[in-house]
Amino acid sequence: MKTLLEIEGVSKSFGSVIANEDISLTVREGEILALLGENGAGKSTLVKAVFGLVKPDSGTIKINGTVMESGDTAAAIASGVGMVHQHFQLVPVMSVTENLILGDEPKRFGVVNITQARKEALALSEKYGLEVDADAIIEDLPVGMAQRVEILKALRRDVKLLILDEPTAVLTPQETDELLEVLRNLAKRGVGILFITHKLREVMAVADRIAVLRGGKLMGTTTPKESSESKLAQMMVGREVVLRVEKSQAKPKEVLLSIKNLRVSDDRKLESVKDLSLEVHAGEILGIAGVEGNGQRELVEAICSMRSRLSGEVIVKGQGIPNLNPRAAHLAGVSHIPEDREKHGLVTSYSIADNLVLNRFDQAPFARGWIRNLEEVASNGESLVEKFDIRAPDAYLSAGSLSGGNKQKVVVARELSQQLDVVVAAQPTRGVDVGSIEFIHNQLIAARDAGAAVLLVSAELDEILSLADRIAVISNGKIVAIFNSKEADRNTIGRLMAGLAS
C-alpha cells in the first residue's frame, strides 16, 4: 500500500497555547486512521494544517510524496485532499447541487451549466451509494443528510485522502452506523481516511490504526486488536478512566416533577408531544430513551417553559409552572442543561465568570439591589472553574473561546451549583470528550444523591442505560413504556424506540 500522507514534525501554537508539538504521522491508501483525543488535544488543528487552513509553525506535510506549501487550501484540494468539517461548510440557502459544484463549477464562458451540474450530482450520489435530493435546499435537510452532502462535496474532487473532523458528534446512533459503513466502503475503494473522534466505540468498530493525541502531543499509535476501549481512554486522558458509571442504589422519595397530559407543538406547528404524563421522584434519574425527533426537544423546552404548551401542566414541588416563562421555571427550582449549549446555554462573548451566574446575576450575593457585586461573581467563577475542572487559564476568558467539553462544563457548573430540585439534562455529553463525560455523569449522580429529581434526555442509549434508574421510552411524542433500569433490555428498548411493539 502506498503512503498517501506524511506528517513530519509538525508544530503549531496559538499565542501561548501549544496546539501541536512535533507530530509525525502517516496515512496509507485504503486505510482508516482514527485520530483520537480529548477536546483541545490538537486534533482539529492538525488536520486543518493538512488541509491548508492552518499554517504550522514548523514541520512538513507531504501528500503523495510532494511537500505541500503550508496554508494553501487550493493546493491541498488539487492534490486530492478532501475535508468534512465539524461545522458543515455548506451554504444554507443554496441547493445541494449548488453546494456540490461551488468552487469548481461546470461552465461555458463563465455561465454555470446547472443541468450538467445536477446530472453530476446524481451520478456522484449513485456512484458512492449516498442518496441525496439534488434540488433540496441545505437548511431544510436533517443533519445526517447535510453531512452526506458534505462528504459528496469532498468526494467530487476525486479525493484520495478524506479527512473527517468529528463527523459523528452531531449524528444520531443510526446515522452514525450509516456513516461508518460509508467510510468502510470508501476505504475499500482505496481512499485513505483520517477520522477524528473521541468516541471509543466508533474507533474500535472502524479504524485500521489509531493515533492518540493528548495536550498537542502524539501519545502513540495502536490498532483496535492490540488495544481496548479502556486502554485508549487511558492514553487519551492520561489517567485511568472509569467508562462504566459507578453509582449506588437510588433511593427515590416524593414526586418533585410531574407532567400531566402535556401537549406541545414543534417549530412546524405539528403536535410533537402528545398527551404525555410523567413523574420524576426526588433522588432518581429518569432517562428518556428515543430516536431523536420524537418530541424530546419539545418536551424539555416545555418543562423549562421555553416553549408554549398547547395544554397540560408541569408541576414542580406541587407548584404549577406558568407557560412561556423560563425565569419562573428556574425560580421554581428547575435547572436546565440545554441540548444546544451555544444557543441556549451560554453567551459566548461573555466571560466564564459571567456565564456562571447568568441565571442569578441579579440575586444576592451576586447583586446588591441594582448593583452587581463583581467581586462575588469573580470568586464564584474562580471556585467553580476549579471545582468543575473547567480547563481555562482564568475565569475571565470569553466562554466562546473554550473547547466544546469545557463549554459544557460551564453550563453544568452553573446549573448544578445551585439549590437543586429538578434537573433537566438534554444531551448533556454530546460532543464532549471521554474525561468530561465521566465528570458530567458523576455530577448528575451527585445531584441525584443530593435529592434532586433528574430527567435525562439522551440520544445515546448507552448513556441512558448506564445512568438512569428508570427508563422511559419515547416514540412519536408518547411514552410507550417505562422500565426499571435493572429489568431494561437493550434490544427491547431499541425495538420500542423504533416504534415497534415489543
Partner 1 sequence: MKLRTSHYLIFAFLAAFTYFYSKDGLVATSVLYTAIQFALPLALAAMVGVMCERTGVVNIGIEGTMLISAFTAFFAGAILKNTVQGMLVGVFTGAMMGLLLALMAVNWKMDQIIAGVILNILAAGITSFYYRQNYSIPSTLDPIDLPVVGAWPILGPVLSFHGPITYFGIFFILALWFALYKTSWGLRSRAVGEHPSSADTAGVSVTRLRYLNVTVAGAVGGLAGSYLALEAVGIFERGFTAGKGFTALAIMIFGRWNPLGALAAALFFGLTQAVTNQLMIDEVVEIPPQFINMLPYILTIVVLAISAGKVRPPAAEGIPYEKEKS
What residues line the site for partner 1 (CB under 8 A)? 48, 51, 53-54, 73-74, 77, 83, 85, 87, 89-94, 98-99, 101-105, 107, 110-112, 153
Q: Would the CA dihedral through 450, 297, 274, 265 be positive or negative?
A: positive
Phi and psi at residue 163, in whole multiples of 5°?
-105, 130
CB of 25 to partner 1, least distance (A): 21
Q: Hey, what's the cell of 38?
A: 480529548
Q: Kindly report the backbone phi and psi dihedral angles of residue 50, in degrees, each rounded to the nearest multiple of 5, phi listed first.
A: -60, -40
**What's the burial of 326, exposed, middle or buried (CB within 10 Å: 0-12/13-18/19+)?**
middle
Identify residue 414 by its one-letter amino acid code.
R
Q: Which is nearer to partner 1, 107 or 387 (CB)?
A: 107
* Least distance from partner 1 to the Cβ atom of residue 94, Å: 7
In the bound complex, what is the minimum distance in angstroms from residue 112's beta carbon to partner 1?
Answer: 5
- Residue 491: which residues within 8 A CB-CB, separation 6 or more? none
Q: Taking the complex as a whole, how short is the minimal distance between the CB of residue 95 and partner 1, in angstroms?
A: 11
CB of 348 to partner 1, least distance (A): 12
CB of 151 to partner 1, least distance (A): 13
Inter-axis angle of helices 404-416 and 374-387, to 10 degrees? Answer: 120
CB of 49 to partner 1, least distance (A): 11
Which CB atom, from 51 or from 439, has the smaller least distance to partner 1?
Answer: 51
- Let me know: does 458 contact 432? Beta carbons within 8 Å: no
Q: What's the closest the beta carbon of residue 259 comes to partner 1, in angstroms?
A: 34
The residue written with cell numbers 435547572 in the block is 335
Give first-to-last CA distance, the chain, whole Å.
48
Minimum CB distance to partner 1 smaller for 84 or for 206: 84
The kind and range of the H/E element at 386 are: helix 374-387
Choice between 83 and 286, CB closer to partner 1: 83
Residue 60 CA to residue 122 CA, distance in Å, equals 38
Q: Pick the closer one to partner 1 by CB: 101 or 334.
A: 101
Residues 381 and 350 sit within 8 Å (Cβ to Cβ): no
Residue number, 81 or 353, with CB nearest to partner 1: 81
Q: Smallest distance, Å, CB 77 to partner 1?
A: 5
Q: Which amino acid is at 371?
A: I
Nearer to partner 1, 117 or 384 (CB): 117
**AA identity, residue 97:** T
- Judged by CB, which is closer to partner 1: 105, or 177? 105
Whose Cβ is closer to partner 1: residue 103's or residue 499's?
A: 103
Residues 6+ apart with CB under 8 A from 377: 353, 354, 356, 357, 361, 366
Strand order in the sheet with 3-14: 17-28, 3-14, 58-63, 66-67
Instruction: Indicate the SS3 state at residue 108.
Output: strand
What are the cell numbers at 347? 453567551
